Amino acid sequence: MALVNFSLGVAANVGDLLDPFSGLFPQTPFWIGLGWAFRGLGFALAAVGLIGLGANVWRMFRPNGDYELRDAEPELGHGLKGLTQTKDKILAIRGHNGVVVVNASVDAQLDRGSHRIKLRKDSYAWPEELKLAAKLARREMNRLALNEHKLGLRSEIDSEFVAADRSVEFQKTRYFFDRTTNSVLNRDVWSRLREQRVARGRDYFISEDNRLIRLEQAGASNQLGGSTLMVDQSRQVHLTMQTSTSAESPDLLAPSGSGSFDLFRYQTLVARQPNLTFQEFCRSEIERELFEETALVANTLELKTFLIGFGRFLYRGGKPEIFAVSALRRSTATARVTTQERLWTGGHEVVPLDDLLSWKPDKLATVSAPLAANIELLRRYLDSPAGAAFQDFLGGRDAVAPTESNGSTAAKCNVAAEPCPSGSI
């Protein structure tokens, strides 16, 4: 939009420069029409500017109406009894910005599956009961946010799911739906005139008997995301510091790579690989986020990602998240912040793996909630038999550096290039 406005402004200025010399041009319909076209363009831009100014003035002085969003109880999820319709064990892990609930009955079992994916034909829209809160939330949104196409998760990942051979269900959604549903369900709608709460956000993802409502039944957008911890052969973990402008975990230490899964990325991958599984897609998206936030370039012999658990962000209305660990077969690694990531990524911090695993709850409460949950799940993963696969890969001999020759053993990939086949980066 900025580029279009700039281009139109340049064209209008060209018209202003030519206007004093209009009498020197041939007085043909084309040149006369061109002169009027430039004048019309200038008038249109002035009208757009006036409308924009009026909208900003209205936002400053408009009546706020009767309803407003207010913060709910700070101990959201305290004493949560579990997940509806299952006896799965859950763990509540607290980070600086809230609580993440992870399904302890899933853990690394998720990585061993090969579930197919079903994309629903209908796109997400606000349920009637959420519209008031959503509209109030939209007023508070960052106006520079991009309304990107995302994937909502409509299947709860529990022990029954990982043990069964059934499809996981996705739904088309957009980033704005996440900001106006998941991101405000830890708040309540109040009437100013009555000084009374008219809607409680937690009711849309936590049941009356204090259990987490399954994703098949929850009304929020529930866009799916993932995060990973990258560990090199010297057993150093490369963490990311979020900036103050980041929408998720501002000014907090976060996983090596994290973010939400893109609809267009899924469509690109499934077009090349029709039998793409849920696990393959999750690894691919997690590795994409890792590349974007660390500027790492690697190949399939050097890096492998293991899925280690599934959780829900209580402080974001039960938003679903896949957790992972990525083993890098290099003795050291250097992470940097690219120009594209400067608004969200402030830098990186290296922490020895053993130190990270020894962090106690009071230390976890000082970092982002996704990082706290990822650390706890990694601790459980490495203490289980499933962790041997990670240790074996990380302890293997250094991978051969990728080359451009026909005899190369692996293709070199990065996020700037064509997306890599599933399972590679």
Kindly list the averaged pLDDT for each block of 10 residues, start to end, along the chain of length 425. 81 82 82 84 83 72 78 76 95 94 96 96 95 90 82 97 94 96 93 92 93 96 97 96 84 94 96 96 97 91 96 96 97 85 87 97 96 98 96 70 36 40 35
The pLDDT value recorded for residue 400 is 40
Six-digit token pair at 123? Answer: 């796109």
Secondary structure element (H or E) that encloses residue 402, with its range: none
Nearest to residue 235, comparing CAs of 358, 353, 365? 353
What pLDDT is recorded for position 408?
35
What does the pLDDT read at residue 49?
80
Contacts of 155 (CB under 8 A, 6+ apart): 161, 167, 168, 169, 215, 216
> Which residues partner with 311 through β-bridges?
102, 321
Instruction: Say what the pLDDT of residue 422 is.
Output: 36
State the DSSP H helix or E strand holding residue 294, giving kind and residue range, or none if neither. helix 278-294
- Total residue count of the chain as it appears in this document: 425
Closest Cα to residue 288, out of 268, 317, 274? Answer: 268
pLDDT of the residue at 418: 38
Q: How far apart are CA 323 and CA 321, in angstroms?
A: 6
Q: CB-based contacts of 301: which residues, under 8 Å, 6+ apart?
A: 329, 399, 400, 402, 409, 410
Residue 62: the pLDDT is 59
| Phi–psi pair at 138, nearest 5 degrees | -65, -30
pLDDT at 424: 34
Residues 6 or more apart from 412 whose CB is under 8 A from it? 297, 299, 402, 404
Tell me how far apart the alpha carbons of residues 319 and 179 are, in angstroms, rounded to a whole number. Answer: 11
Residues 173/151, Cβ–Cβ less than 8 Å: yes
Burial degree of 54 (CB within 10 A; 0-12, 13-18, 19+): exposed
- What's the pTM value of the predicted model, to 2 decimals? 0.81
Q: Which DSSP string do the residues of 203-261 spell out, in sequence order?
A: GGTB-TTS-BPPTTT--S--B-EEEEEEEETT-EEEEEEEPTT-SSSTTSEE-SEEEEP
Nearest to 289 by CA among 247, 233, 249, 230: 230
